[in-house]
Structure 1
Amino acid sequence: MQWSEVRSRYSAQWVLVEAIEASTQGNKRVLDQLNVIGSFDDNSKEALRSYIKLHRENKQREMYVVHTSHDQLDITVTQWTGVRALR
């Protein structure tokens, strides 16, 4: 499913989506095909809880919580530059 289809089916909702086909262009992530895992009526906290639960189960899945009010997905790729403690 493409973003335009997601927006029309889940109007004015938070959705948890998984990227089926995606690529990186510059510092942007482009999602060509999506799978909707869940939809949440104005409840971003519940959407985020669902994301966290699924992410803990399988960290390899590329999932995002987004609101369908956005015309385009704008996902910026950032590099984690944190410091890890030595043990």
Structure 2
Amino acid sequence: MKWEEVRKIYPNTFVKFEVVESHMEEDKEIVDEVAFIKAINDGKAAMKEHLNCKKGQYVYNTIKDKIEIQLIKYIGIRGKM
């Protein structure tokens, strides 16, 4: 399902979804297509759902025009302790 369709069905609502298709623009992942899981009416409930998301799942508000996920490079620790 396209993000635009989700926005039309659930205006100004938090939704939980899984990324189906996306592309990269610089250091951001732009999501093109999602697999809708459920709508969440409450901000507090949305935070709880966000904490329980599996890899590739997100909670996002449909007030946003597009889904942009900021990618952070993990450098890690080098050397011996």
Give the TM bin, normalised by the shorter chain.
Answer: 0.7 to 0.9
What is the Cα-based RMSD across aligned positions, in Å?
A: 2.2
Say whether the 8 Å CA contact 2:49–2:59 is kept in structure 1.
no
| CA distance 1:82–1:49, shift in 2 (3 Å) | farther
How far apart, CA to CA, are the structure 2 residues paired with 1:25 and 1:34? 18
How far apart, CA to CA, are the structure 2 residues paired with 1:11 and 1:64? 17
Identity of aligned residues (%): 25
Deviations 1:19-70 (A, max 9, x none): 01122221110212101111111x1221232233342xxxxx3111111111
1:28 is aligned to 2:28: yes
TM-score by length of structure 2 reads 0.77
TM-score by length of structure 1 reads 0.73
Q: Could you say which structure has the higher strand fraction?
A: 2
Runs of 4+ in 1 over 4 A off after TM superposition: none
Determine which structure has more spread, i.e. the larger CA radius of gyration. 2
Unmatched runs of 5 consecutive residues or more in structure 2:
none
Unmatched runs of 5 consecutive residues or more in structure 1:
56-60
